[in-house]
């Protein structure tokens, strides 16, 4: 359904998940009380607990309410995202995403938008937010790497491309740090 695809896309971006991680979520893996997702047997055979925001909680609750109306109350072992015959496949979701991109006039852009780009955007936006907060990025990268389920920092750094906004923020911090040195006596 459209609600399923919308909720999935929102979750992929908001939590930086891989598509397979979102599709493998079971009802019991979404903890609304603690605002966490339990991810099991992900890429590299990792398990992790992912916190999510109240906005994500609200979106997931709306989806679950709709799901219950359509398919009755699910067992805790049931897939969180499902259709009448069961769990969604990667191919179906990727096809729907391409249809959305076509409808938005983005299907022929180069490079062509992919669902995995939402994970990339999550990482870049997290880095940018840390820059804005004045954090030491080198000390934060291991947290991002663990959160994203990477084996090493090298895997995380692939996602951290320089954006115009990030360059502006880095320049602002650089100028603020060295402003006194740049002044001539």
So which residues are the catalytic ones?
Answer: 18, 43, 116, 119, 150, 159
Phi, psi of 140 (to 5 degrees): -85, -25
CB 32 within 8 A of CB 16: no
Q: φ, ψ for residue 51 (rounded to 5)?
A: -75, 150
Instruction: Provide the edge-to-edge strand list for the sheet that holds 48-51.
Output: 30-31, 36-39, 48-51
The residues, any chain, with a CB within 8 Å of residue 140's CB and separated by 6 or more, are: 127, 130
């Amino acid at each position: 359904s459209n609600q399923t695809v919308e909720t999935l896309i929102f979750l992929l971006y908001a939590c930086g998940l891989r598509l397979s991680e979102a599709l493998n979520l079971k009802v019991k893996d979404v903890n609304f009380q603690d605002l966490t997702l339990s991810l099991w047997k992900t890429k590299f055979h990792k398990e992790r607990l992912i916190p999510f925001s109240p906005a994500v909680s609200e979106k997931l609750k709306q989806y679950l309410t709709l799901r219950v109306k359509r398919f009755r109350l699910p067992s805790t072992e049931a897939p969180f995202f499902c259709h009448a015959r069961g769990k969604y496949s990667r191919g179906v979701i990727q096809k729907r995403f391409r249809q959305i991109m076509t409808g938005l006039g983005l299907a022929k852009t180069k490079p062509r938008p992919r669902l995995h780009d939402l994970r990339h955007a999550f990482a870049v936006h997290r880095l940018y937010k840390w820059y804005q907060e004045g954090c030491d990025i080198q000390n934060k990268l291991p947290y991002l790497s663990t959160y994203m389920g990477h084996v090493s920092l090298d895997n995380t750094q692939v996602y951290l491309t320089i954006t115009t906004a990030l360059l502006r923020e880095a320049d602002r911090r650089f100028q603020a740090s060295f402003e006194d040195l740049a002044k001539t006596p």
